[in-house]
A and B are shown apart, each in its own frame.
Chain A
Amino acid sequence: MSDTVDALKGLTERMAELQQQQRERGQSGRHARMRAELLARMAEPASATPRLRWWAWSGAIGAVAAVVLLAWLALRPGPLTFEVESSAASGQAQAFLTAREDQPLRLTFSDGSAVELRPRARVRVAALRDDGAELVLESGAIEARIEPAASSSWRVVAGPYRVDVVGTALTVRWTPEDEAFELELHEGRAQVQGPRIAGTRAVEAGEHLVIRGAGEQASATVVAELEATTVDAGAQQPAEPAVTPSGSRSSARRGRRAAGSRAEATPDEAAADWRALARGGSYRAAIEAAEATGFSSLCAALDAEGLLELADAGRYARRSARAREALQALRRRFAGSEPAAVAAFDLGRLSTGASGCEEAQRWFRTYLRERPQGSLAEAARRRIDECKSPPDEEVEATP
């Protein structure tokens, strides 16, 4: 131990010798030079920019921090706002919103997200936050397209079910009478919590979660393909098929949304105008645009999906004749196809209450003949039965 201490002492002595030698080497000349430089520096005027003392630095940093804070407060986005279609005033949180029986209602949020209430759907915007909103679906169905963001917090509450969504397109249905819940996820991902779900269930794009009501055999099913799902949650909304098979309207709509380029690729450039209007919820303007372009020529040029979309716009705009024209063109030009069968079902819905039960029944039977096992078969049979009910219980065409 003492050896080490001695060795260290020897080391520091060597270091001291070295440093002393360095100091003494040319010391007088070095000091003379340093002194001369010192006097020269003394003669220089004081620096034009005097050094800031600590309190000056602190003050400057504090001022910058205050400016940044104020800018952040002034520029931060704040809670979302929303507008209700055909309403001049901004939407109010907590207010109940109900779509008319024959028309959807569109809500547009300040972050670019949009929620469409299907006809007769009842919704309350329960909360508006900086990064999202909470919607309470009292009854019916909504389609939502949430703008993806780094941190968004959108939630749909439907009865006892809670859907947390991040940048996604989805359809939620809730039938309180049957306690039936459905979630179709077209894009993105979502998490669902509620009865008959153990913990949290993650739902991915293309999946369809169906939770049957208490009156039914309780089940919660997620299938990989939306088209493969069969549910009867639409019992309370007979005019609107809850889930449709491949080639149906909702899947066609999904397909068009997922591949927007298809619309752009349509040979008829004018078709883009009415389509854009229809997708923006302006159905009457869409039909007018289609008419300006030439409705008949559109019916002759559009593909099956385009014709279904045009018919949808006609129905939503309460232009039944135009809707019927598009659907009949579809049946004529694409006879035997899945969209043609769906067109028969839609023609039946259009005829209900308008042309009387007989025509409606004829179209529903056409559908059943063409697609006896189709997912709309049950609804078609129910519609046939409903035609026997008194006229005031009949329902109008809905999307």
Chain B
Amino acid sequence: MLLSPSQPVAPVLPLRPVAPLLARLRAREPAAAAMLFDRHVTQVERAVQGVLGPDPDVEDLVQDAFVAALRGIEGFRGDESSLGAWVRGIAVRLALKKIRWRRARRWLGRQGSEVVPTLQAVTDTDTQAALSRAYALLERLPALERAAFGMRFIEGMRLEEVAEALDVSLATVKRRLTSGRQRFARLAAGDALLGHWLREESGR
């Protein structure tokens, strides 16, 4: 249908300009904070779990990372596309801090044993025991090696993502991964339970 010139035309309402997310975050808009969380929580959670494994503190650390990011948003110098990596980096640093804090407490005798990972999802008791040993051995790796190992070999993050999260160069991440893998293999081979499980698995 053609419109005749005499027919009134509905006025075109101008679109309300949508401010960039960064500006809204800096303005402390709750909706912007919720948006930031929804967009990036999965990758942040994945990275933290890569560092700590199925640890009961993962949820708290993820939330702490978002709180820290929102409080420090004024200092963020990147663009919107790098917000996720920035929050992830904060979360990984908090997770590393947690590892070192726990080790210090263990050294001081304030915490008797390592945190028991949550493995109820595994129904096979042999596998559950083997995984439990594997996480215990990961505890013995240096913090950076453990973080790199977990993010890369368990969570399958890209090398660049791992390097960015740890705030180190790509070459450093590769060195950490190589040494972490060798160290973990040695520890696993020397562990009676895990060594047996690995032999059984390779024999299948």
Contact = CB atoms under 8 A, between A and B. Distances in A.
Contacts of B127: 14
A46 B33 CA distance: 16
Nearest to B71: A46
Interface in B173-204: 181, 184-185, 188-189, 194, 197-199, 201-202
Contacts, number: 93
Contacts of B38: 31, 35
**Interface footprint category on B:** 35 or more
A12 B154 contact: yes
Contact of A39 (B33, B154, B189): B33
Contacts of B45: 23
Contacts of B134: 11, 15
Contacts of A38: 33-34, 37, 63, 66-67, 70
A389 interface: no
Contact of B201 (A7, A19, A39, A43): A7
The dominant DSSP class at the A interface is helix
Interface string A1-27: 001101110111011101101110100
Interface in B3-58: 28, 30, 33-34, 37-38, 41-42, 45-46, 49-50, 53-54
B121 A25 contact: yes
Given A16-B155, A37-B63, A21 B198 contact: no
A41 interface: yes
Given A23-B49, A37-B63, A38-B66, A16 B154 contact: yes
B156 interface: yes
A41 B30 contact: no
Contacts of B198: 4, 7-8, 11
Interface in A10-62: 10-12, 14-16, 18-19, 21-23, 25, 30-31, 34-35, 37-39, 41-43, 46
A15 B131 contact: yes
B122 interface: yes
B169 interface: no
Contact of A16 (B135, B156, B181, B189): B156
Contact of B119 (A7, A18, A42): A18
Interface residues of A, number: 28
Contacts of A39: 30, 33-34
Given A15-B53, A15-B134, A41 B67 contact: yes
A22 B42 CA distance: 12
A43 B30 CA distance: 9
B37 A18 contact: no
B63 A19 contact: no
A35 B42 CA distance: 12
B54 A22 contact: yes
A30 to B, nearest CB: 7
B130 interface: yes
Given A23-B46, A35-B38, A38-B67, A18 B202 contact: no
B80 to A, nearest CB: 19
23 contacts: A6-B202, A8-B188, A10-B201, A11-B134, A11-B194, A11-B197, A14-B122, A15-B53, A15-B134, A18-B131, A19-B155, A31-B37, A34-B59, A35-B34, A37-B63, A38-B34, A38-B63, A38-B66, A38-B67, A39-B33, A42-B30, A42-B70, A43-B30
Interface of A: 3-4, 6-8, 10-12, 14-16, 18-19, 21-23, 25, 30-31, 34-35, 37-39, 41-43, 46
Interface of B: 28, 30, 33-34, 37-38, 41-42, 45-46, 49-50, 53-54, 59, 62-63, 66-67, 70-71, 118-119, 121-122, 127, 130-131, 134-135, 153-156, 181, 184-185, 188-189, 194, 197-199, 201-202
Given A8-B188, A16-B155, A35-B38, 17 more contacts: A7-B199, A7-B201, A11-B194, A11-B201, A14-B122, A14-B130, A15-B154, A19-B49, A19-B54, A19-B155, A22-B49, A31-B41, A34-B41, A38-B37, A38-B66, A39-B34, A42-B28
